[in-house]
Copies of this chain bind each other. A is one copy, B any other.
Amino acid sequence: MADIKELVGCKELHGKIVSPAEAAKLIKPGMTVGTSGFTPSGYPKVVPQALADRAKAEGPVPITLWTGASVGKELDGALVEAGCVTRRFPYQTNEVIRKAINSGKVAYADLHLSHCAQNIRYGFFGKIDVAIIEALRITEDGGIVPTTSVGNSNAFVEMADKVIVEVNTAQPAELDGIHDIYSPKNPPNREAIPIEKVNARVGTTAIPCPPSKIVAVVASDVKDGQRALDPVDEISSKMASNLLDFLSVEVKAGRLPKQLLPLQSGVGNVANAVLVGLDEWPTDGLTVYTEVLQDAVFGLLDKGKVAFASSTALTPSPDGAAKYYPRMKEFRDRIVLRPQEISNNPEVIRRLGIIAMNTAVEVDIYGHVNSTMAGGTKMLNGIGGSGDFARNAYLTAFLCPSESGGGKISKVVPFCSHIDHTEHDVDIIVTEHGVADLRGLSPRERSIEIIKKCAHPDYREALTDYRTRAESAGGHEPHLLAEAFSFHVRLGTQGTMKQ
């Protein structure tokens, strides 16, 4: 490990520099621990790993684990394997913890990412005993400079009894200054969040923290566990071009400016494909107001297609990190990283007029969206920020391929097996077959539009048969409840949704 003293500006903390194992001893059974980290960037690595190692040797140290969003294998992997995580908030993407959640071993509550910090401050989840925050450095007055994400770190530091800082020398030092930390007060004293443009800076570059609260400082040089992106495939590319064609029509109709409005895009391959597609957008000077910046945004910033990007995390692939992190100096004046309660805040999202583009697990014929659960029961990742953006955006799009599982699963179903976003929150649905524009349509009209424009041709007949028979039975949003889940039940019993 490097000598990190020169990165700890607050001299009184030099005596608190300890080993990961020493720091991990501060975490006791039954504690609630809040860590930095978002999708999965900027999370602490060496203290959680040390805790997992201790637990493996000496027996589990059960804790409630809070993060910003998904984190790496040291937390959701090693700690879960060591039996240390009994309760987990608010989002995850790791296979080890997912299995534990679905078997009921870990109690997981899937929360809107913008709701976390305020509900912790309100005291709704009890107190935070220890915060573990990854930092580039500590300032002279104890301020913690975050690394590749902000997430809920500001709220954890405010509310925790004790703070452990992991100073990570493997993170790009050029990120110093990129963060903008603003914490809203609790009602009745909360004020308007003074962000009226994507590039507004309204806070501090470090998370304020009284030095007395910092109980341990630990050196780390472990990199973020970045995830590779698949190359853009034909289906994703077709979805992206369908969406961008739609946006072009909106511009021509005067319903969107040429430079669009600030873009939000979910995590993963489909989201990345949409942003890659923007490379061909005829106007420069686009803006991004989102929760994660993937490779495509760096590419668009590099070309000047995107003028400014606001987010709570940098989430490049390993290739993207290798390409762009060494050049961070060139980008950092055009990127700001905010707390997730600000990047995902309804107030700011509605004010700026975001174009929200998120991926659906499945959609139903009336426009409800499942974002989280396979077969209505098995948690995949979580709702993340999709609800924050979908509800408050200027225009809300959900994207998914029309089928999956080699054609055995239709992504358009009669009734979503789980609903995260309701018909009230969805403007358009995009698949590789087309775009269903649901604005102003009644449910009966929506079902015709969605089946025609979005469903896979192999499933259109069965979906039309359902909707026609349901309509005969009447009602504003016609259903035959006895067979509303027939597609899913067939998949369970026959291995395919096809009749």
Contact B107 A378 (CB under 8 A): no
Q: Residue A81 at the B interface, CB < 8 A?
A: no
Q: Residue A394 at the B interface, CB < 8 A?
A: yes
Smallest CB-CB separation from A421: which chain B residue? B422
A108, A124, A470 interface centre (most CB from chain B within 10 Å): A124
Contacts of A499 in B (CB 8 A): none
- In A74-112, the 8 Å CB interface with B consists of 87, 89, 101-104, 107-112
Q: Which of B255, B352, B419, B471 contacts A122 (CB 8 A)?
A: B255
Q: Which of B125, B261, B427 contacts A439 (CB 8 A)?
A: B125
Contacts of A406 in B (CB 8 A): none
Determine the distance from Cα of A421 to Cα of B471 in the docked complex, in whole angstroms: 24
Binds B, one of A223-231, A263-271, A482-490: A482-490
CB contact under 8 A between A394 and B346, given known A107-B442, A444-B107:
no
**B interface footprint on A413-426 (CB within 8 Å = 1, 0 otherwise):** 00001111111110
Contact A255 B123 (CB under 8 A): yes
Determine the distance from Cα of A184 to Cα of B119 in the docked complex, in whole angstroms: 28
The count of residues in chain A whose C-beta lies closer than 8 Å to any C-beta of chain B is 88
Q: Residue A280 at the B interface, CB < 8 A?
A: no
Q: Residue A253 at the B interface, CB < 8 A?
A: yes
Q: Residue A9 at the B interface, CB < 8 A?
A: no
Q: Residue A474 at the B interface, CB < 8 A?
A: yes
Contact B186 A353 (CB under 8 A): yes
Chain A, interface SS category: loop
Contact A109 B442 (CB under 8 A): yes
Smallest CB-CB separation from A420: which chain B residue? B422
Contacts of A108 in B (CB 8 A): 442, 476
Contacts of A476 in B (CB 8 A): 101-102, 108, 373, 377-379
Contact A375 B481 (CB under 8 A): yes
Q: Which of B103, B187, B477 contacts A394 (CB 8 A)?
A: B187
Contacts of A111 in B (CB 8 A): 424
Determine the distance from Cα of A391 to Cα of B392 in the docked complex, in whole angstroms: 11
| Distance from A465 Cβ to chain B, minimum over Cβ atoms (Å) | 17
Smallest CB-CB separation from A471: which chain B residue? B104
Determine the distance from Cα of A444 to Cα of B87 in the docked complex, in whole angstroms: 12
| Distance from A195 Cβ to chain B, minimum over Cβ atoms (Å) | 8
Contact A353 B424 (CB under 8 A): no
Contact A378 B112 (CB under 8 A): no
Smallest CB-CB separation from A374: which chain B residue? B475
- In A396-444, the 8 Å CB interface with B consists of 417-425, 427, 439-442, 444
Q: Residue A383 at the B interface, CB < 8 A?
A: yes
| Distance from A387 Cβ to chain B, minimum over Cβ atoms (Å) | 6
A108, A184, A485 interface centre (most CB from chain B within 10 Å): A485
CB contact under 8 A between A110 and B424, given known A102-B476, A376-B479:
yes
Q: Which of B377, B441, B482 contacts A477 (CB 8 A)?
A: B377
Q: Which of B103, B184, B191, B419 contacts A419 (CB 8 A)?
A: B419
| Distance from A176 Cβ to chain B, minimum over Cβ atoms (Å) | 29
Contact B368 A188 (CB under 8 A): no
Q: Residue A194 at the B interface, CB < 8 A?
A: yes
Q: Which of B188, B378, B387, B417 contacts A353 (CB 8 A)?
A: B188
Smallest CB-CB separation from A477: which chain B residue? B377
| Distance from A485 Cβ to chain B, minimum over Cβ atoms (Å) | 4
**B interface footprint on A351-371 (CB within 8 Å = 1, 0 otherwise):** 111000000000000001000
A-B contact pairs, 13 of them (CB 8 A): A104-B444, A107-B441, A111-B424, A122-B255, A122-B394, A188-B352, A192-B196, A192-B351, A375-B481, A376-B484, A377-B470, A377-B475, A387-B391
